[in-house]
């Protein structure tokens, strides 16, 4: 089965405040995205592909409420805290953090863990304390995956190497997998590969042979877990990614990269059509 994930980052911020949201007022943004995409996804079979949207927390309730009875859209959150509420234990003393049980109660079935932006944030905080050991980031992410699964959530776990790590990519990705997935239920995990060195303006995108090589490595290291391309599933690479047998889907973010950049539902549906072939 294929997996199409949508990471909406902070695309909800209005243009006049420095964001890219021309789609809807903040209060309606999550609802509009679900409402305008689920209708276009009804032609796909449940055993053919699944669609998961990772929303900023403020939009989870309206997004979940907008789902119809036959909706193909699943709702997820953009990460969870490494500790959680428990009956007879901590009842919610997690100010500023998002416990997995809170995400589940809001209507999430998935969470996104280990995205390169989260990894950078954790590494930056650790660096302030003088810790530069990359394994520490992987250990924290492992705690998050365990907490997510304990709350019944499925996990999209992101891995990837930076430009300065490319020569040691096997060690870097191997550690991210072995430490991050230690003791977790792999049947409820999908891996997203982010070639961090190739993402962004002016950088050369990873080519087909490189993506094939990495996907094979990940499957070998994990016993065959599904791997999606996290470097950005777009209109201009959808056909290429669809031709890679080892790739099981993709992660979409922005749909328009010039002019009025941002996320637009109809362009999202077109990317899926190009990738799925119908």
Inter-axis angle of helices 265-276 and 29-38, nearest 10: 40
- Annotated active-site residue 115? The verdict is yes
| Structural contact between residues 271 and 26, judged by C-beta atoms closer than 8 angstroms | no
139: enclosing H helix or E strand: helix 134-150
| Cα distance between residue 5 and residue 105, in whole Å | 21
Residue (of 108, 202, 95, 201) closest to 153 by Cα position: 108
Q: Say which of 118, 144, 161, 194 is annotated catalytic.
A: 194
Tokens of 251: 């992660």
DSSP 194: -
Contacts of 11 (CB under 8 A, 6+ apart): 19, 20, 21, 253, 254, 262, 263
Q: Are 161 and 169 in contact (CB under 8 A)?
A: yes
Question: Cβ distance 160 to 120 under 8 Å?
Answer: no
Q: Is 194 a catalytic residue?
A: yes
Among the listed residues 50, 115, 118, 144, the single catalytic one is 115
Distances (CA, A) of 228 to 77, 107, 202: 18, 24, 23
Contacting residues for 218 by C-beta, under 8 A, at least 6 apart: 159, 173, 177, 191, 193, 225, 227
Distances (CA, A) of 195 to 74, 183, 220: 26, 25, 18
Annotated catalytic sites, by residue? 115, 194
């Amino acid at each position: 089965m294929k997996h199409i994930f949508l990471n909406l980052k902070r695309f909800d911020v209005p243009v006049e405040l420095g964001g890219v949201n021309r789609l809807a007022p903040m209060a309606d943004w999550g609802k509009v995205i679900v409402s305008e995409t689920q209708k276009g996804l009804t032609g796909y079979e449940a055993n053919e592909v699944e669609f998961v949207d990772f929303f900023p927390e403020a939009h989870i309730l309206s997004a979940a409420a907008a789902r119809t009875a036959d909706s193909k859209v699943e709702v997820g959150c953009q990460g969870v805290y490494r500790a959680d509420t428990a009956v007879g234990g901590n009842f919610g003393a997690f100010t500023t953090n998002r416990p997995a049980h809170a995400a589940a109660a809001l209507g999430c079935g998935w969470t996104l863990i280990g995205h390169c932006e989260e990894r950078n944030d954790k590494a930056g905080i650790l660096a302030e304390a003088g810790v530069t050991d990359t394994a520490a980031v992987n250990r924290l992410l492992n705690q998050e995956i365990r907490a997510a699964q304990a709350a019944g959530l499925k996990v999209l776990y992101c891995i990837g190497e930076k430009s300065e790590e490319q020569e040691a990519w096997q060690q870097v990705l191997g550690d991210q997998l072995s430490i991050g997935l230690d003791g977790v239920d792999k049947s409820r995990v999908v891996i997203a590969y982010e070639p961090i060195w190739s993402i962004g303006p002016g950088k050369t995108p990873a080519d087909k042979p490189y993506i094939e090589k990495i996907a094979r490595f990940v499957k070998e290291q994990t016993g065959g877990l599904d791997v999606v391309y996290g470097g950005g599933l777009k209109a201009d690479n959808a056909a290429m990614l669809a031709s890679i047998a080892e790739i099981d889907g993709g992660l979409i973010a922005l749909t328009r990269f010039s002019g009025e950049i941002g996320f637009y539902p109809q362009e999202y549906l077109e990317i899926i059509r190009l990738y799925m072939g119908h």
